[in-house]
Amino acid sequence: MSRMLKLALGIVLAVAAFAGVILVGNLSQPPTYQVAVVVAEVAPFSQLSVNEVQVDTQSLSAAVASKYILADEWEAMLSAGPVVAVEYLYPGQPLMREVVATGENALRVRRLSVALTDPELVIINVPLDAKQVPAVYGGDAVALYFSAGQIQARTIVSDVVTPAETPRSGPPLPSGPVTAERTEAVTRTVELELPLTKRLAEGLVYRLNREQQDNPNYGAPGMEHEPRYVEGPVVSMDVVVHQDAAEWVAFALAHGKVQVGVLPAVTIPQLQSGTLPGSPGATWTDLEAIFFAQRFPEGGGR
């Protein structure tokens, strides 16, 4: 075989090998998608537009791409109506379906964000312990429970019981049981003992407020687009409540502890119309009554 033939064959083999490497690389590389990406900081309950979101070409697996809003879907959302962020969005973050609300959901969020146009409503801030906050999101219905358990005090109320009245159930009072054999009226002292718990208010969550922590990557080489602060744990919650209920919430925050409970979504119409039934509350005396009733089911007393 001549030298020229060998050289030509070598060149053909080299080109074939290079083409094979390129082909294998293309086959192993994930496909590209047009992904909607956030390019500006967006506060919760803000309406998104082309100024905050742009399209970027990214190589992704199909499984990852299915979580993102792609270019054609983003354009369809914009043309169909408002698109509202339901949490804080950062520049460079691919836009995921669960962080936006569209259609009727977006309208609900927007109505909630301007709730103060109703003069009967108040947005009140409720400080929270991050370890005791349930899974709450903007627009959820919540109940606020007031608890006072470390106060050594009691409210005393007296009433008059006539001999004909049937004795009330429960453990004997300090003055002794009231019986029908008495010929004179008997004054019974009823004591309301702390601790106690009472559901004082219901409302809709306007916003969760998180602790702003310094971003360790801010200002680092090659990380010029990192935000200065990142969000930490939830520290408080803004809740839309009725004017009258706001006073009770303020009282509870000043004199005890407030616990948050999530209400079913089906209660929102009742909550908004003020027809949600109240709760009787619970006191130490109630716990005593349940305790002794279950310990002595036959009515034997303590």
Residue 195 preceded by cis peptide, ω within 30: yes
Does residue 184 have a pLDDT over 90? no
Q: What is the mean pLDDT of residues 185-199?
A: 71
Q: What distance lies between CA 97 and its chain's CA centroid?
A: 18
Does residue 138 have a pLDDT over 60? yes
* Reported pTM: 0.50
Is residue 35 within 8 A of residue 60, CB to CB? The reply is yes
Does residue 213 have a pLDDT over 70? yes
Q: What is the mean pLDDT of residues 146-167?
A: 56
Question: Degrees (nearest 5) of the Cα angle 155, 156, 161?
Answer: 150
- With cut-offs at 50, 70 and 90, classify the pLDDT of residue 176: very low
- With cut-offs at 50, 70 and 90, classify the pLDDT of residue 186: low
- Encoded tokens for 87: 């949490």
- Structure confidence at residue 5 (pLDDT): 64
**Tens-digit pLDDT profile for residues 72-116:** 999 988 888 888 888 888 888 999 888 888 877 777 676 666 656
Give the list of residues 6+ apart from residue 36 with CB closer than 8 angstroms, or none.
53, 54, 55, 68, 69, 70, 71, 73, 74, 94, 95
Q: What is the mean pLDDT of residues 159-171?
A: 50
Residue 88 has φ and ψ, to the nearest 5°, of -70, 135
More confident residue, 2 or 97: 97
- Structure confidence at residue 271 (pLDDT): 85
Average pLDDT over the chain, rounded to an integer: 77
- Structure confidence at residue 162 (pLDDT): 53
**Tens-digit pLDDT profile for residues 27-37:** 556 788 889 99
